[in-house]
Amino acid sequence: MLRPKAYATALLLLSLGLACTGPAPRVRPQRPDTPVDRPTVTQTTDEGLELSGVVSKAVVKPIDDETEAEAAPVLGPLILRVGLATDLERVDLPCCNPDVQLHFGDTTLRLDRRTVVLPAAGISHTAIYRLQVAALKDERQAQGIADYLNAETDYPAESVFDADTDLYRVRVGRFATREEAETAQGGLAGLGVTQSWVVSEGGDLENAAFLVRRTTAAGATEESRWEGRWLDLFSESADEGLPFDRHRYRGRLLFFLNDRGLLNVINELPLEEYLRGVVPKEMGPELYNELEALKAQSVAARTYTLRNLGEFAAEGYDICSTPRCQVYGGMGVEHPVTDQAIRQTNGQVVLYDGRPAETFYSATCGGHTENVEVVFPLKRGEYLRGVPCLESGSTAVQGDEVAGRDFPRGLVDQIFPPATGDPPALLSARLEQLALLADLPPPSRRLGSLRRPEVMRYVASLYDVAIDRRLMESATQVRVRLDQPPDDWGPRERRFGRYLINSALLETPAPGDEASMGEEETAQLLFELGLYLGVLEEENAYFLQLRDNRLHVRDNGVRPAYALHSAFSTFRRRGERLLPEALELMAGDPLLIYRSGGEIVSLVQPVDAPPVELGRRAPRQSWTLWKSDDDVRRAVQTRYPGFPFRGFQVLERGVSGRVGKLALLGEGGRRIEVEGLAVRWTLDVPDTWFHVERVDRPGSHGWVFRGRGWGHGVGMSQAGAFGMAVRGSSYREILEHYYTGIRLGRLKPVPPRPRIPAG
């Protein structure tokens, strides 16, 4: 999905409609030509969407944590129809497999002979051919596209509501022949409408039927005529699949007689089994061999499917099998690792504001993704904001040296600089300083030794008004409270209680045990007390970028930026230790930020993140192209026939640097403004993130394009997702990095609604 050749424009990406036939048993599915109420999308509660209909019902509910995601029940089969081929004049069926059957009404034929299916129908009167560019749930969006095309082209455009599918279809032009409509597609391409498709209106099928020809072993031909618009092919051996056009498919194959009197071939199967043929085609498991990245891809592909079902309902199917939708390869591309990724994210989708999001993704982003409206001018989405990608490389962040002291001792020494004196006096002075920072009264006495009982008594007396007294009870009592925390205990109390238990500060020492706390133990005590008292604040965040000495991070959907001063330390995980070293951060890496008095005092990279070499996984993240004047002129005139091209001017750029708008300059002052992804198609370049240099030399007049990325650059970067997974990010963290402010939800099937009796 959404690879460089796919989805040239936002006009083609605005559909929202779910058309699933719901949980189905392993027995033969319901006849395709039997009228059924197709499920639709309706907002039900704050928890999510309801896919409701007579046949089935499922609910999308948010997932709050990993545990819930893993514990949720396996999703039952939601059935969808995938278009494999259209406008065929014949279909040759496989010979001699008795398990494969052709089914029509009460008639069943086993394919033990050579069988050919042909259309047998006429058109009652001449149809009008049109170009369909979108099928939308939103009437205002659909009308906006129609108005835009009416203003920018000589073809009439309109938004027409289809009561059968509950979608607004945007169609352009009125052509007497299919050839005229196909010719007009080139004119629309300059506006970014590069993936429109031809539909017919006004023509009705006459005597719709199929001819089924069978050749006997002796060479004789038997022919039968089956009235109707649907046939289905299924196998009693589900694991073998059904062959078509050198591929094998799960589920069943449907043959649909379309409005043009030709055959469409459709694969009907459960959503989760469909994904088994999509994910390895979109993100090859041999190349992107990280499970968490493939899980992120699985969720994105599942969400895309649900978001875009229904766009091709007039053609008999829900979604296509090409890069126009998502590339689908059937059983032959299935892989154990992608199967595992799909299974472990069963039913999970990306939600924004309770609705399935438009989960754009592409192979590489060049270092930074782009805001959706820059690339797709008619699209809006607060979750599709430009973010730095791992492909941009690593960023070094170096704090003050804390020589030879691991975390947290190095941080404690930074906040409470070491002083002279014996160890009890030093700890006593530091505890007193901590009390002053917490606005507590100073102690009336000093600590006499570092034996645990005495240290604990001293802490209890010094902070008695600030520390919950229930935390100062015996180890047994605190353990009981941690098992069943009081209602007024939050994360702060629970963390400090666990520390006290693990440190043995609450334990009664054995007789004769005179052991004292060491330097590492006293540093840990000061650290935990600092967090409990609020003198030290800890924040979990994810690194985005360092720009103008400001640290940009992501924290629960918010993107704060912190000024970095010279007085802060940095610690990096190496195995089991957090060592005082410079950080090597990549976009999406987790960070622990420690602040005191509102200022950053320390940055910790808590994951031992290995270096990432994207190599062949992102071979096109940067590129250089030479184009002569004739090359550019031909590319422009492909979209704008006859335009007297002389040059162009970049007008706007997005947050990543991608060109959002440029002006084509022609002779006589003629000028055309081109926006979004149409810039890429018009100039015929790999991505809209480029800078260009004019070259005028003897015998060499043209342009040098130097760019980054390959595709549209919106949403998830597959190479970046792989790199994040290598460095320890989960699939949830990957999705939350690329789709701002989203939540994960899960489709959960529930019992079907009963039919309402007629009358």
pLDDT of residue 134: 77
**pLDDT band at residue 500 using 50, 70 and 90 as cut-offs:** very high
Which residue shows structure tokens 């979750």? 383
Instruction: Give residue-wise pLDDT tens across range 185-200.
Output: 877 776 667 667 888 7
CA atoms within 13 A on the CB side of 512: 0
Residue at token pair 């019902």: 57
Task: Share the mean pLDDT of the chain.
Answer: 82
Domain edges within the chain: 125-203, 390-402+536-605, 409-529, 622-708
Nearest to 641 by CA among 191, 192, 193, 190: 190
> Which residue matches tokens 């994951």?
607
DSSP code string of 334-392:
--HHHHHHHHHTTTEEEEETTEE----EESB-TTB---HHHHSTT---TT----B-GGG
Are 206 and 183 contacting, i.e. CB atoms less than 8 angstroms apart?
Answer: no
Confidence band for 714, pLDDT divided at 50, 70 and 90: very high
| Cα radius of gyration (the chain) | 32
- Asked if the model's pLDDT at residue 248 lies above 50, the reply is yes
Write down the pLDDT at residue 101. Answer: 86
User: Which of 409-448 are b and which e, b meaning 16 or more Cβ less than 10 Å from the residue's Cβ?
Assistant: bbbbbbbbeeeeeeebebbbebbbbbbebbebeeeeeebe
What's the pLDDT tens digit per position in 23-53?
A: 222 233 344 543 333 333 332 223 333 333 2
Same fold, 125-203 and 390-402+536-605: no
What are the strands, taking DSSP E only, across 137-270?
A: 157-162, 167-175, 197-201, 205-206, 209-215, 221-227, 230-235, 242-244, 247-249, 252-257, 263-270
Check whether 74 has a pLDDT greater than 60: no
Give the DSSP letter of residue 143: H
Q: For position 282, what pLDDT does the model report?
A: 93
CB burial string 47-59: b at 16+ within 10 A, e below: ebbbbbbebbbbb
Mean pLDDT of all residues in 137-160: 78
Nearest to 732 by CA among 98, 258, 298: 298
pLDDT band at 15 (very low <50, low <70, confident <90, very high): very low
Q: Give the pairing type, strands 205-206 and 209-215.
A: unpaired
The more confident residue out of 394 and 283 is 283
Work out the pLDDT band at 63, boundaries 50, 70, 90. Answer: low
Q: CA torsion sign, 682 to 687 to 693 to 695? A: negative
Question: Which amino acid belongs to residue 292?
Answer: E
Residues whose CB falls within 8 Å of the CB of residue 510, separated by 6 or more in sequence, listed in order? none
CATH of the structural domain 390-402+536-605, one choice from 2.60.40, 2.30.30, 2.30.230, 2.40.50: 2.40.50
Q: Within 10 Å of residue 742's Cβ, how many Cβ atoms?
A: 22
Q: How far apart are CA 402 and CA 413, in angstroms?
A: 8
Could you give the CA distance from residue 11 to residue 401 in angstroms, rounded to a whole number? Answer: 54
What are 107-134's pLDDT values in tens digits? 888 877 788 999 987 766 667 888 988 7
Instruction: Give the angle 321-325-329 at the CA atoms, nearest 5°.
Output: 30
Contacts of the segment 49-56: beta carbons below 8 A, 24+ positions apart: 49/354, 49/355, 49/356, 51/18, 51/20, 51/78, 51/747, 52/753, 53/22, 53/753, 54/752, 54/753, 54/755, 55/21, 55/22, 55/30, 55/752, 56/20, 56/21, 56/22, 56/23, 56/749, 56/752
Phi/psi for 557 (5° steps) reads 85, -15
The SS3 call for residue 480 is helix
Cis peptide before 408, with omega less than 30 degrees from 0? yes
Q: Under a CB-based contact definition with an 8 Å cutoff, are residues 678 and 191 in contact?
A: yes
Determine the pLDDT at residue 632: 93
**Residue 478 DSSP code:** H
331/274 Cα distance (integer angstroms): 9
The pLDDT value given to residue 39:
33
Sheet containing strand 197-201, edge to edge, reads 157-162, 167-175, 128-136, 197-201
Average pLDDT over residues 578-606: 92
For the chain, how far is it from start to end, CA to CA, in angstroms? 46
User: Can you tell me which residue has the tokens 């022609």?
Assistant: 666
Token pair of 743 as six digits: 């939540």
AA identity, residue 453: P
Mean pLDDT of 563-590: 89
Contact of 339 with 346, CB cutoff 8 Å: no
- Residue 254 above 90 pLDDT? yes
Structure tokens at 201: 């209106």
The token pair that represents 212 in the structure block: 């089924």
Check the CA dihedral 496-497-500-501 and report its sign. negative
The rounded Cα 142 to chain-centroid distance in angstroms is 25
User: Which pLDDT tens digit goes with each residue over 634-684?
Assistant: 888 877 767 889 999 999 999 999 999 999 999 999 998 888 888 888 898
- 508: which 2 tokens? 């009664």
Is the CATH number 3.30.70.1070 carried by domain 125-203? Answer: yes
The H or E element spanning position 78 is none
